């Protein structure tokens, strides 16, 4: 549980910062910067023991034996867990809530399907003792040949995923007769979320009640998984996740290391802490799957698209299924009368890949936004012009109107600000000494994922307001925008709102993923706050003890924590004074956005699975956020080094609840996109099937020195088809399209088309 008293962050918080749409600084910023914010695994608990994982050193085969003799005898060791000694769990349902097979689940593996799989764990009195003893656990294996990655000859063509097939018209036929044709293959490597805070948890049992302090993007979903594993009621599991040091999709699910820690705590009867090492974060859960796409476009001589044929492949694990939807952007970005997209998934010896900022849309955009650029050069027109010539006036796949699509406005605003009209069209035609200069453009999009949320709003005796929700803040600003929502709705200052998040005892919330939380939770808080205010006004008007009773008014207004009549002809008193006068110590209202006839089962399903999420094409509209990136690179012609020197991005996320925080998220996405374009790649030793650059010195993410000033421009308008207050998704949008914009700029600079990320120097020299 976390309590925030809102304080203004800096001088840029203007007079109207406190309302929805204001630029209030992050209310949790000070606590984080000063170190006062206590993260999940920093809880000090009596009797805490420490668990350390032992991982497989082969990629494929079976554990023959585990010799724990030396580890058992090591100083401070409390227990050594192996597949033979760990308690048996039940298999939990997946995140869709699909009923699981009735078979036991063991979080420690006997059958090895990737290097780095958890095979044992050591629990000791201290962390250092556990680390030392873990190194003494001797595991022997019967090794079998592994499938390293998509390029492995043994990998094959994979499994067709029919649900990914999107087709209309006669794409092959139209391509064959098109006067201009391009066809190319685009590859993206394994990429990793690399959050600053590694994954870890503290688990404590009190009888048959489990408390888990764990960074989480989904308290209720993870609580359900723990409950199902251990066969206890959902209500018996409490997840606590006050702050999250970055998630990017990787902290939404309960994972096997969590099961190990909770088992150890149960077996020992002591709270147990388990934190992954940085190398373990590269195999303890999945990053973005490696992908391959071929994009084939047929167009007329003016560049008007006649046909798109798209084929995609992503890797998944031997026994898990991850589909990275590679046709998601391909199928909606441009108008085309003929279209075909199909996708296969290939099993390789890797941990099952997972969600990473804009799964699907991100690699999809790399394919189509590179290909359209290639088409522009083939036709001989400006890369921005070709996008406008093929502008999709409605969703070409769903055949529905866009709820809002400010992409044309994004192209216009970005191009204007960037100075695109001054671009010299020929590759290698702009330079500064040894530096070849290139300008590239690409578009991005992300669907509006919608779900339901609930919240409690309390108006307290001192006139302050309290908001509770089991949703979370991983840096994106939930604490702040929910305070703004409650402040504006009730009519108090944001300083007087306390937002409590990150505890599954609070009113429930679905996953913080798919850029949906702000839209869901502002709606829920708005409803709860409206209801609380209605109660307050009702009391003020109807209670005989109220100073407003004699006024005979129909309603009252609340502002700055004070109540008055709309005409200003009655009393003017603070909310605290009003509550005192009517003898109430608080008013409380629960609000949710669920349909009115929802059953308790519906609610449970909504908050603990993703099965109830609303399709973005539900009803009459197709709902998406949109963006356009304009990027300048400087490529050293001798060294092949690429530096991004200018970024102007115009983005349509609908109404922004807090522009300052939205801009910050957009810039974060762009920075992550720069890393993806130029630096990030999990490198596998092909003999061992093991990621060798599993640390932050060798897996490169951008430093400040790699990032120029980034200018972001909001071109959104309120979209009430997308959310209660008019916002669309923010968090994932901005990474989509950055990598192709950079690849396109690199082509403009050098004349070399790089279709394999990242664009490292050896690909250009």
Using CA atoms, how far apart are residues 197 and 199, in angstroms rounded to an integer? 7
Q: Hunting for tokens 């990242």 — which residue is that? A: 758
Q: Determine which residue in the list 86, 194, 525, 684 makes contact with another protein, applying CB under 8 A.
A: 684
* Residue 235 appears among annotated catalytic residues: no
Torsion (CA) 705, 30, 665, 453 in degrees, nearest 10: 160
Q: Determine which residue in the list 698, 736, 738, 754 makes contact with another protein, applying CB under 8 A.
A: 698
Stretch that binds another protein, among 103-111, 236-244, 675-683, 728-736 (CB under 8 A): 675-683
Please give the radius of gyration of the chain, using alpha carbons only, rounded to the nearest integer: 27
Using CA atoms, how far apart are residues 729 and 248, in angstroms rounded to an integer? 14
Does 762 contact another protein by CB under 8 A? yes
CB of residue 609 vs another protein: minimum separation in angstroms? 37
Q: Determine which residue in the list 545, 685, 717, 720 makes contact with another protein, applying CB under 8 A.
A: 685
Does 283 contact another protein by CB under 8 A? no
* H or E stretch covering 579: helix 575-581
Stretch that binds another protein, among 27-35, 402-410, 647-655, 681-689 (CB under 8 A): 681-689
Residue 754: closest CA among 391, 310, 334, 427: 427
For another protein, the closer CB: 11 or 196: 196
CB of residue 701 vs another protein: minimum separation in angstroms? 9
Supply the DSSP symbol for 155. Answer: S
CB of residue 608 vs another protein: minimum separation in angstroms? 38
| Cα–Cα distances in angstroms (integers) from residue 648 to residues 15, 224, 464, 673, 747, in the given order | 28, 43, 41, 13, 18
For another protein, the closer CB: 197 or 719: 197
Looking at residues 588 to 647 of the shown chain, list those that interact with another protein (rule: CB under 8 A).
636, 638-643
State the number of binding residues for another protein (CB under 8 A): 45
CB of residue 269 vs another protein: minimum separation in angstroms? 23
For another protein, the closer CB: 590 or 645: 645
Task: Give 33's contacts (C-beta < 8 A, 6+ positions apart).
Answer: none
Residue 312: closest CA among 297, 298, 295, 329: 295
For another protein, the closer CB: 36 or 697: 697
User: 514-531 as b/e, with b when 16 or more CB fall inside 10 Å?
Assistant: bbbbbbbbbbbbbbbbeb
CB atoms closer than 10 angstroms to residue 582: 18
Does 67 contact another protein by CB under 8 A? no
For another protein, the closer CB: 277 or 531: 277
Beta strands in 125-249 (DSSP E): 138-143, 159-160, 166-168, 180-188, 200-206, 209-213, 237-240
| Cα–Cα distances in angstroms (integers) from residue 551 to residues 177, 533, 566, 570, in the given order | 79, 18, 11, 7
For another protein, the closer CB: 124 or 299: 124
Does 690 contact another protein by CB under 8 A? yes
Whether 310 contacts 326, CB under 8 Å = yes
Q: Determine which residue in the list 541, 549, 700, 753 makes contact with another protein, applying CB under 8 A.
A: 700
Tell the burial category of 240 from Cβ atoms under 10 Å away from its Cβ (0-12, 13-18, 19+). Answer: buried
* Binding letters toward another protein, positions 434-453, x by CB under 8 A: x-------------------
Q: Six-digit token pair at 756?
A: 């394999």
Looking at residues 76 to 95 of the shown chain, list those that interact with another protein (rule: CB under 8 A).
76
Q: Determine which residue in the list 510, 702, 727, 740 makes contact with another protein, applying CB under 8 A.
A: 702
Does 96 contact another protein by CB under 8 A? no
Stretch that binds another protein, among 87-95, 162-170, 393-401, 686-694 (CB under 8 A): 686-694
Residue of 55, 466, 632, 732 marked active site: 732
Supply the DSSP symbol for 498. Answer: E
| Cα–Cα distances in angstroms (integers) from residue 668 to residues 212, 248, 731, in the given order | 29, 11, 9
SS (H, E, C) 165-187: CEEECCHHHHHHCCCEEEEEEEE
CB of residue 696 vs another protein: minimum separation in angstroms? 9
Looking at residues 101 to 140 of the shown chain, list those that interact with another protein (rule: CB under 8 A).
115, 126, 128-129, 131-133, 135
CB of residue 122 vs another protein: minimum separation in angstroms? 11
CB of residue 705 vs another protein: minimum separation in angstroms? 4
Does 709 contact another protein by CB under 8 A? no
Looking at residues 210 to 269 of the shown chain, list those that interact with another protein (rule: CB under 8 A).
none
Looking at residues 397 to 436 of the shown chain, list those that interact with another protein (rule: CB under 8 A).
434
Using CA atoms, how far apart are residues 696 and 198, in angstroms rounded to an integer? 12
* Binding letters toward another protein, positions 295-324, x by CB under 8 A: ------------------------------
- DSSP string for 390-426: TB-SS-TTT--EES--THHHHHHHHHHHHTGGG---S
Residues that bind another protein (CB under 8 A): 57, 74-76, 115, 126, 128-129, 131-133, 135, 279, 434, 636, 638-643, 678-679, 683-688, 690, 692-693, 697-698, 700, 702-706, 758, 760-762, 765
Active site residues per annotation: 732
């Amino acid at each position: 549980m976390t309590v925030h008293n809102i304080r203004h962050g800096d001088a840029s918080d203007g007079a109207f910062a406190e309302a929805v749409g204001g630029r209030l600084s992050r209310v949790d910023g000070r606590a984080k910067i000063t170190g006062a914010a206590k993260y999940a695994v920093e809880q000090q608990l009596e009797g805490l023991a420490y668990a350390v994982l032992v991982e497989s050193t082969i990629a494929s085969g079976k554990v023959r034996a585990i010799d724990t003799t030396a580890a058992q005898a090591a100083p401070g060791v409390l227990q050594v867990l192996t597949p033979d000694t760990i308690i048996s769990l039940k298999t939990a349902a997946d995140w869709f809530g699909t009923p699981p097979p009735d078979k036991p689940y063991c979080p420690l593996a006997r059958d090895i399907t990737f290097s780095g799989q958890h095979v044992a764990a050591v629990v000791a009195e201290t962390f250092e003792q556990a680390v030392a003893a873990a190194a003494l656990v001797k595991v022997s294996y019967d090794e079998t040949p592994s499938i390293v990655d998509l390029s492995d000859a043994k990998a094959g063509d994979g499994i067709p995923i029919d649900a990914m097939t999107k087709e209309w018209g006669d794409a092959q036929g139209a391509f064959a007769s098109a006067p201009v044709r391009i066809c190319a293959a685009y590859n993206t490597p394994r990429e990793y979320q690399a959050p600053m805070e590694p994954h870890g948890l503290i688990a404590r049992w009190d009888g048959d009640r489990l408390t888990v302090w764990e960074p989480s993007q989904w308290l209720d979903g993870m609580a359900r998984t723990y409950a199902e594993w251990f066969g206890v009621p959902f209500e018996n599991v409490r997840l606590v996740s006050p702050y999250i040091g970055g998630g990017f999709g990787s902290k939404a699910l309960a994972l096997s290391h969590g099961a190990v820690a909770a088992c150890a705590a149960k077996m020992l009867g002591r709270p147990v802490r388990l934190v992954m090492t940085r190398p373990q974060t590269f195999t303890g859960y999945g990053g973005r799957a490696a992908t391959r796409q071929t994009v084939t476009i047929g167009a007329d001589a003016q560049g008007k698209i006649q046909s798109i044929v798209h084929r995609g492949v992503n890797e998944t694990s031997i026994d898990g299924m991850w589909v990275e939807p590679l046709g998601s952007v391909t199928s909606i970005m441009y108008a085309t009368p003929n279209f075909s997209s199909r996708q296969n998934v290939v099993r390789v010896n890797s941990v099952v890949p997972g969600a990473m900022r804009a799964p699907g849309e991100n690699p999809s955009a790399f394919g189509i936004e590179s290909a359209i650029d290639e088409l522009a050069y083939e036709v001989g027109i400006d890369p921005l012009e070709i996008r406008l010539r093929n502008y999709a006036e409605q969703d070409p796949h769903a055949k529905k109107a866009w709820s809002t699509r400010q992409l044309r406005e994004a192209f216009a605003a970005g191009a204007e600000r960037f100075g695109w009209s001054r671009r010299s069209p020929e590759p290698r035609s702009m330079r500064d000494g040894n530096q070849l200069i290139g300008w590239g453009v690409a578009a991005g999009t992300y669907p509006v994922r919608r779900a339901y949320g609930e919240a409690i709003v309390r108006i307290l005796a001192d006139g302050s307001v309290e908001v509770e929700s089991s949703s979370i803040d991983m840096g994106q600003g939930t604490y702040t925008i929910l305070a703004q929502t409650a402040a504006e709705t009730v009519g108090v200052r944001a300083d007087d709102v306390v937002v409590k998040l990150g505890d599954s005892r609070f009113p429930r919330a679905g996953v913080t993923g798919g850029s949906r939380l702000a839209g869901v939770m502002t709606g829920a808080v708005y409803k709860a706050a409206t209801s609380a205010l209605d109660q307050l006004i009702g009391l003020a008007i109807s209670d005989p003890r109220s100073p407003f009773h004699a006024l005979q008014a129909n309603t009252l207004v609340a502002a700055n924590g004070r109540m008055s009549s709309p005409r200003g002809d009655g009393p003017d008193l603070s909310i605290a004074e009003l509550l005192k006068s009517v003898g109430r110590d608080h008013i409380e209202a629960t609000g949710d956005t669920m349909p009115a006839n929802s059953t308790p089962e519906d609610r449970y399903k909504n908050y603990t699975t993703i099965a109830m999420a609303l399709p973005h094409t539900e009803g009459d509209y197709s709902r998406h956020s949109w963006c356009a990136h304009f990027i300048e690179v400087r490529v050293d012609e001798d060294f092949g080094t690429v530096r991004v020197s200018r970024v102007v991005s115009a983005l349509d996320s609908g109404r922004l609840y807090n522009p300052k925080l939205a801009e910050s998220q957009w810039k974060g996405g762009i920075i992550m996109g720069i890393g993806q374009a130029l630096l990030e790649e999990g490198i596998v030793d092909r003999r061992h099937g093991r990621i060798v650059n599993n640390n932050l010195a060798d897996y490169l993410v951008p430093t400040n020195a790699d990032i120029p000033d980034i200018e972001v421009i909001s071109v959104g308008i309120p979209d009430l088809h997308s959310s209660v207050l008019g916002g669309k998704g923010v968090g994932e949008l901005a990474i989509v399209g950055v990598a192709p914009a950079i690849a396109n700029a690199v082509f403009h600079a050098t004349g070399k088309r790089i279709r394999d990320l990242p664009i490292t120097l050896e690909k250009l020299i």
